[in-house]
Amino acid sequence: MARIAAPGESGAKMNYRSRYDHWIGGEFVPPVRGQYFENPTPVTGQTFCEIARGTAEDVEAALDAAHAAAPAWGRTSAGDRANILNRIADRMEQNLEALAAAESWENGKPIRESTAADIPLAIDHFRYFAGAIRAQEGSLSEIDEDTVAYHFHEPLGVVAQIIPWNFPILMATWKLAPALAAGNAVVIKPAEQTPASIHFWMSLVADLLPPGVVNIVNGFGVEAGKPLASSARVAKVAFTGETTTGRLIMQYASENIRPVTLELGGKSPNIFFDDVSSARDDFLDKALEGFTMFALNQGEVCTCPSRALIQEGHYSEFLDAAVERTRAIVQGHPFDTDTMIGAQASNDQLEKILSYLDIGQQEGAKILIGGSRADLGGELAGGYYVEPTIFEGSNSMRIFQEEIFGPVVSVTPFSTFDDAVRIANDTLYGLGAGVWTRDTATAYRAGRAIQAGRVWTNCYHAYPAHAAFGGYKGSGIGRENHKMMLDHYQQTKNLLVSYSPKKLGFF
Amino acid sequence: MSGTPAVSRVAVTAAAEEVLRRLYAVNGPLMFHQSGGCCDGSSPMCYIEGEFRTGASDVLMASLPIAEVPEPVTFWMSKDQFERWRHTHLTVDVVPGRGGGFSLEAPEGVRFLIRSRLLTPEETKALDSSE
């Protein structure tokens, strides 16, 4: 076990400033109303910096800066923009450990996860969209011998982005990279639970971006997010969060006839067919890891495989092994390199998870392991830790229907293929799903039958750029992580050109 | 107040009532819409009444009487979500917290939270017959 120095400790890879203002027009700008709020680390519950409490006036200032920057940025060549994105990626790579520390300290996730997943994925994401925009082409349609329709991609202008707290830097990157590649200026509001790490990111890359192209406004949803999302001065709103706020953002957007993209979570089924256990081999080991993925990022993932459907033939055997695999999860200080599960991101998140542990038991679900808050003692006593928990119950229970956003999986058996698909689809959401089987035909049929935007097949929780990610049903609108996201940040300009000197003859 | 029903689907703790009184003093009439899904989902969102437009896809689960607040606070949920929650009784509570969607209480450093219990057969019968 190696304990890496956390921010504030000697030898730390990075340290936060004691206060962050907004980042507007390429510089720190204090909030107009002069108010700040405290930002605690979930690792210990202690405040480590204070953050500008933005309001509508600050949003307007950020929009002013973005509108000033957008025309020139939109006219830069795709090659120039791609070069900047690649330089951002290089700078992030040179500072990978510092960015990982920033993200783990603010969010509570294990350092090994931010080091091996979050930040490398974010780096690759900038490179992917640098490549995608270089490779993107317009099109032309030859209507007739003398008439040609040209289709050009144009940036939308100034876009609003509202970022969740579960992967603060990676989720910001998912939205920033395609928006910038497409030539838009951005006003971004990070979550109030994780408002500082994006400022550390900006401190590393600010010299690479023209002032005003990326503006960061901090604050609470109701005070800063709402004026941003409802502004007639933004050409598009991108949001990751939950259903009620998603609907509200659509309502605001409808007032201005603006497009939105929404990623609103899920209740993802992870299906294990009987043949998974037909041999004791690497594949079975991989499937058990796939089950245990419910604890990745403390379960704070929109696609958390929070419903495990296990076929009857190997139900007991597989579940017993899964419980043992879960027992082996190392919970501890997020800056210990052996730690697999760290702290929940906030106190209210902790309380919500505990409320689900309560109603799950009241509904008659059986706890196979975990089920309580974890007290890790010492400096971590004030942190927000929950034991990885396995419930056994039925799909009508609320713990099977609602996104708990904690390290909690609800397990139920199924009999046949049709039974598995029925249970998998008996949910309001359709973001992710997992299918585990040695039979490729079964895998294919299940993957096509499940109503979800992403079906991991004999894998789970991989998020490579170049694989489209987004929801069916209540899980949202739009696809991220793929070049098709460029379309969500671009207008189509059609020039319909006649090369004929002859009149039509109507007048 | 025109007769609080003897059986209700939603209750409010004293601590949550206190927050609602403060929010009412600043904002006027209030509403809840219960969220689902990611991040801050499964939490009740508190808005100025009418800020969130409800429609045919929503269910008014309760109109909550709050002492010293003239207008009851409405509590809404989307209809499809309600079908999956209707066997449980909800209590709006409040905990120290940090943010959540566009809900009004977040800047105060608190967050509304739902606590749940199963409805008794008698409650279920009374509620189903009144709807």
Read off the pLDDT of residues A137-192 as tens digits, 9 standing for 90 and up: 999 999 999 999 999 999 999 999 999 999 999 999 999 999 999 999 999 999 99
Read off the pLDDT of residues A88-144 as tens digits, 9 standing for 90 and up: 999 999 999 999 999 999 999 999 999 999 999 999 999 999 999 999 999 999 999
Record the pTM.
0.97
- Rounded CA-CA distance A449/A455 in Å is 10
Q: What is the arithmetic mean of pLDDT over A3-20?
A: 97
Catalytic annotation on A302? yes
- Rounded CA-CA distance A183/A204 in Å is 21
Q: Where are the alpha helices (DSSP H) in chain B?
A: 14-27, 79-85, 121-130
Res. B99: pLDDT tops 80: no
Domains of chain A: 19-40+48-264+475-493 (3.40.605.10), 269-457 (3.40.309.10)
Three-class SS of residue A421? helix
Res. A51: pLDDT tops 70: yes
Catalytic annotation on A49? no
- Which of 292-321 (A) contact B at CB < 8 A? 300, 302
Cβ distance of A429 and B37 shorter than 8 Å: yes
Res. B3: pLDDT tops 50: no
Res. A298: pLDDT tops 80: yes
A 10 A CB-CB count for A47 gives 12
Q: What is the arithmetic mean of pLDDT over A34-46?
A: 96
Contact (CB, 8 A) for A300 and A307: no
Contact (CB, 8 A) for A234 and A158: yes
- Rounded CA-CA distance A169/B108 in Å is 26
**Which pLDDT score is estimated for A41?**
95
What proportions of chain B, in percent to the nearest 5, are helix, strand and coil?
A: 25, 40, 35
- Rounded CA-CA distance A208/A213 in Å is 11
Q: Which residues of A493-505 are buried (b: 16+ CB within 10 A; e: fewer)?
A: eeeeeeeeeeeee
Cβ distance of A302 and B38 shorter than 8 Å: yes
- Which of the following is catalytic: A113, A302, A387, A392? A302
The domain ranges of chain B are 10-130
Res. A33: pLDDT tops 60: yes
Mutate to test the interface with B, among A163, A348, A469 (most CBs of B within 10 A): A348
Q: What is the arithmetic mean of pLDDT over A481-503?
A: 97
Asked whether the CA dihedral A39, A45, A46, A48 is positive or negative, the reply is: negative
Please give the mean pLDDT across all residues of chain A: 97
Q: What is the arithmetic mean of pLDDT over A460-487?
A: 97
Amino acid at B114: I
- Residue B62 gets the label, from left (phi > 0), alpha (psi -120 to 50) or beta, of beta
**Structure-token pair, residue A109:** 């996730």
Packing angle of the helix pair A78-94, A168-181 (nearest 10 deg): 160
**Closest-CA residue of chain B to A304:** B38
Read off the pLDDT of residues A374-413 as tens digits, 9 standing for 90 and up: 999 999 999 999 999 999 999 999 999 999 999 999 999 9
Cβ distance of B99 and A401 shorter than 8 Å: no
User: Does A221 contact B at CB distance below 8 Å?
Assistant: yes
Looking at domain B10-130, its CATH class is: mainly beta
**Which pLDDT score is estimated for A46?**
95
**Which pLDDT score is estimated for B37?**
85
Alpha-carbon gap: A87 to the closest alpha carbon of chain B (Å) = 31
Res. A1: pLDDT tops 90: no
